[in-house]
Chains A and B, each alone.
Chain A
Amino acid sequence: MDHRTPLARVRGLGSAREGTDHFWKQRLTAVSNFVLVCFLIWLLVKLAGADYATVKRTLARPQNAIPLLLLVLSGVIHMRLGMQTIIEDYVHSEGRKVAALMLNSFFTIAIGLTCVFAVLKLSFGA
Chain B
Amino acid sequence: MAEAKQAIQRPLSPHLSIYRPLINMMMSIVHRITGTALYFGTLLLAAWLVAAAMGEEQFALVNTLFGHPIGKLVLLGYTWALIHHMLGGLRHLLWDTGRGLQIWQVNVLSWMTILGSISLTLALWAFALVLRGGL
Contact = CB atoms under 8 A, between A and B. Distances in A.
Nearest to B133: A49
Contacts of B38: 79
B64 interface: no
B127 interface: yes
Interface string B1-41: 01100100000000000000000000000001001101100
A43 to B, nearest CB: 11
Nearest to A50: B132
A105 B121 CA distance: 31
Given A82-B35, A114-B46, A94 B53 contact: no
A55 interface: yes
Nearest to A56: B52
The prevalent SS among residues of B at the interface is helix
The prevalent SS among residues of A at the interface is helix
B89 A111 contact: no
B36 A114 contact: no
Interface residues of A, number: 33
**Most interface-central of B42, B59, B90 (chain A CB within 10 A):** B42
Interface residues on B, range: 20 to 34
Nearest to A83: B39
Interface in B75-107: 82, 86, 89-90, 92-93, 96
Interface string B51-62: 011001001100
Contact of B52 (A45, A82, A86, A118): A118
Interface of B: 2-3, 6, 32, 35-36, 38-39, 42-43, 45-46, 49-50, 52-53, 56, 59-60, 82, 86, 89-90, 92-93, 96, 124, 127-128, 131-132
B44 to A, nearest CB: 11
A115 B49 contact: yes
Nearest to B58: A52
23 contacts: A34-B90, A37-B82, A45-B124, A45-B127, A45-B128, A48-B128, A52-B60, A56-B52, A79-B38, A79-B39, A79-B42, A82-B35, A82-B39, A83-B39, A86-B32, A86-B36, A92-B6, A115-B46, A115-B49, A117-B53, A118-B49, A119-B49, A121-B53
